Structure 1
């Protein structure tokens, strides 16, 4: 059983790759693992990343229609989901796991696991971080498809603040709609979170488990 941290990434400031150094191999793996998640029926575009040969992690709000009514959340999963790699290869995907604690709270578990209909050969599989002892100033990177652009964009930022219980981390980074579901990587190339939301200037991390 592995632990993954959900990140709600909120817009702060634009950064460039010159501010901190991350191994080019990690940047390359971030991009090779990254896919665009698309639903024509739901008119939804987001990002996802491979955690195994057939499994992709993304945000739940990318692959489902959500309606919030008080403390209840009604939802329906889009049935025409497609994952698109950077080189343009398309593969249909099916949702096999969703959050087990749905609520209207802003920190509900915003993740989903998708299974591909075939094996994509030219990809990277990202390891999940087991150590959550993050440091202020630690560089992070994520890739995605902001605003549904046809070109994948990679971003670099830094951890700028951590609460004592490590439930809240502030990250200086830039993100836009369409980046949701992208993997946030540390300087060891491990997934420490998922880009989920932009608003204000903070990053929230919430623990969940993948069996």
Structure 2
């Protein structure tokens, strides 16, 4: 039997999932039959028999009472709270196996949190959206969303923070708030929508010396060594209230999550294999850290399942799976937005090729070039109609919105490197990189 669930990240994106069927065990009994042919026993005096039966009844009653306590404890979860807590605490601190009798794992993770918290930041995304009223008029509305980030590196001039792409998407202004409460503006370094990863940069000259002493770079762990059942701690800006901590375990590994497009109804499965945890992941936690018992970052919190019958199903991106991607994003040039009147244009007309159509039509996911503008940069670079743009300066684009968002950081006259897929006569596509000088919008 299959149940449908909603899949949410901090932007409210949804999808579906399947429930896992619970199981139970049956304990069977075995009867022993007395063999035939035994000689009849001699009669026992009545007084002795009564005394014997009384003793037997006492022994059986004691055994039954003890068995009832054991069964009751296991079935009803009536184990000692103090003992469970002590066992769990020792198990976490020594990396020993958890007691099989423990039904709930709780422990003191304050030392872990104390070490990790200086490397966690809150991220506020201020954006302006076009809103259409009842009469067809269009107005601009400012919106604010909250997320989390992890300090992962520092270069000569910047502090680098990794987060989810959906945390920074569409931003006009990004603000990073450090563990000591100070806030500074940040710029996007690089993004990848396919794996929902982004790196933002904070200029070092905008951070005070006092703040620099109170923050630190996170220690990254090896998510390929994770085991189901080991402890996990999630830290993030839950609901935008500031940093909070939740605990749990690694529930499963290599999970695939399907997302449903609300407009088309099409369902697509993410290429990324995620960590599942029962540590609570709430809106605002996106981009935050999932850490192990050693305080190492093993995942980037990204989403959760929501439904009437769902509880404790959150997801994180395994840090080892995206370490190379994060490094590439860190090496990109920091982007600052250009005034709209000065922004450049490629010189094309295009349309999005979303994942669902990409599979149906056997086309690359990206921006389909439906027309080449005469005298534009694309024509001068030799681009042709029918090509599909998949990246700009190394940043993946999977839609027209992605491409237009990236072009906000380039002025007319700038040169950009476009990765395009060119259709071949056999129905396949050949990848090519072209340099395009941007013209006026």
Which band: TM-score by shorter chain? 0.7 to 0.9
Root-mean-square deviation over aligned CA pairs: 3.0
Deviations 1:40-86 (A, max 9, x none): 33412111111123111111101113xxxxxxxxxxxx131010123
Residue of structure 2 equivalent to 1:85: 178
2:258 counterpart of 1:157 = no
User: Which of 53, 56, 61 lines up with 2:166 in the alignment?
Assistant: 61
After TM superposition, give the deviation of residue 169 of structure 1 in Å. Answer: 3.2
Residue of structure 2 equivalent to 1:97: 190
Gaps of 5+ in 2: 1-8, 15-84, 90-104, 128-142, 256-271, 307-312, 328-441
From the two aligned structures, give the one with the greater helix fraction. Answer: 2
Residue of structure 2 equivalent to 1:169: 275
From the two aligned structures, give the one with the greater strand fraction. Answer: 1
Partners of 1:40 and 1:190 in 2: how far apart?
A: 30
> CA separation of 1:112/1:31 partners in 2, compared to 1, >3 Å: closer, same or farther?
same
2:245 counterpart of 1:133 = no
Aligned residues: 179
Residue 22 of structure 1 contacts residue 139 of structure 1 at CA under 8 Å; is this kept in 2?
Answer: no
> CA separation of 1:185/1:198 partners in 2, compared to 1, >3 Å: closer, same or farther?
same
> CA separation of 1:138/1:26 partners in 2, compared to 1, >3 Å: closer, same or farther?
same
Partners of 1:110 and 1:163 in 2: how far apart?
A: 16
In the TM superposition, structure 1's runs of 4+ consecutive aligned residues that sit over 4 Å from their partners are: none
Higher mean displacement: 127-136 or 179-188: 127-136
Classify the secondary structure of the residue corresponding to 2:224: coil
User: Which of 284, 292, 302 lines up with 1:178 in the alignment?
Assistant: 284
Residue 34 of structure 1 contacts residue 47 of structure 1 at CA under 8 Å; is this kept in 2?
Answer: yes
2:45 counterpart of 1:45 = no
> CA separation of 1:130/1:175 partners in 2, compared to 1, >3 Å: closer, same or farther?
closer
Partners of 2:188 and 2:284 in 1: how far apart?
A: 19
Q: Higher RCO, 1 or 2 (CA under 8 Å, sep at least 6)? A: 1
Partners of 1:170 and 1:43 in 2: how far apart?
A: 28
Residue of structure 1 equivalent to 2:298: 192
**TM-score normalised by the chain length of structure 1:** 0.73
After TM superposition, give the deviation of residue 162 of structure 1 in Å. Answer: 2.9
Gaps of 5+ in 1: 1-7, 11-15, 66-77, 103-107
Partners of 1:204 and 1:94 in 2: how far apart?
A: 24
> CA separation of 1:168/1:45 partners in 2, compared to 1, >3 Å: closer, same or farther?
closer
Partners of 2:224 and 2:106 in 1: how far apart?
A: 20
Residue 21 of structure 1 contacts residue 139 of structure 1 at CA under 8 Å; is this kept in 2?
Answer: no
> CA separation of 1:131/1:159 partners in 2, compared to 1, >3 Å: closer, same or farther?
closer
Residue of structure 1 equivalent to 2:120: 34
**TM-score normalised by the chain length of structure 2:** 0.37
| Structure of greater Rg | 2
After TM superposition, give the deviation of residue 21 of structure 1 in Å. Answer: 3.8
